Amino acid sequence: MTTNLKALLENKTLLLDTNILAYSYRYPKEFAGFWKELNNFPVDTAGIPHLDIELFKGTRGPLELKKKADFLKKYIKKTFELTPEVIRNAKLLSLCSSHETKSGDITDLFLGGVLKEQGNNCILMTANTNDFPETIYDWLEILNFPVPTRIINCILVRYSEVKFAKYIASFKQRKI
């Protein structure tokens, strides 16, 4: 990890997309250094309520389910609730989803809603570069994790109120 990452994450909350946890679970050796480095400075790790549902999807039996549940407890220190404000933010961000993103997945909208609510105190880590466009979010850092068959590219993103306001102003000008 670079010094820049420490400066970005220290005393902040690192909101984790499900894909980061899924990759960390699947490739523990390749992600071990990242998790170890996070322990060297104060940073909270967080998720949203249905993170477990996504991670548990496809679980083959009770032993694997327990292993995944223990994994979540180890890496998720707090959970952001889907408050009315987060839901309102997700609805606003959905205006961008059809034009600026590839899918507009509800989980990604909720993650964006949390980022909007938390402001500069919260940074998202995701491997989903398509649904957090630079027209709405600030891409702060790109992390690469070589795994046996490819390289997993992850980004650290922060919500940008300035970029979102610009997008909404442009949206309101459309004659569609």
Q: What is the CATH number of the domain that holds 135?
A: 3.40.50.1010
**Model pTM score:** 0.91
38-88 confidence digits (pLDDT tens): 988 999 999 999 888 889 998 999 999 999 999 999 999 999 999 999 999
**How many domains does the chain fold into?**
1
Any idea what DSSP says for residue 11? Answer: T
The CA distance from 76 to 148, in Å, is: 26
Q: Where are the beta strands (DSSP E) in the chain?
A: 12-16, 43-47, 78-79, 122-126, 137-147, 150-159
Q: How far apart are CA 152 and CA 145, in angstroms?
A: 5
Domain extent for 143: 3-173
Q: What is the pLDDT of residues 111-161, one digit of tens each?
A: 999 999 999 999 999 999 888 988 899 999 999 999 999 999 999 999 999
| Gap between the Cα atoms of 56 and 70, Å rounded | 12
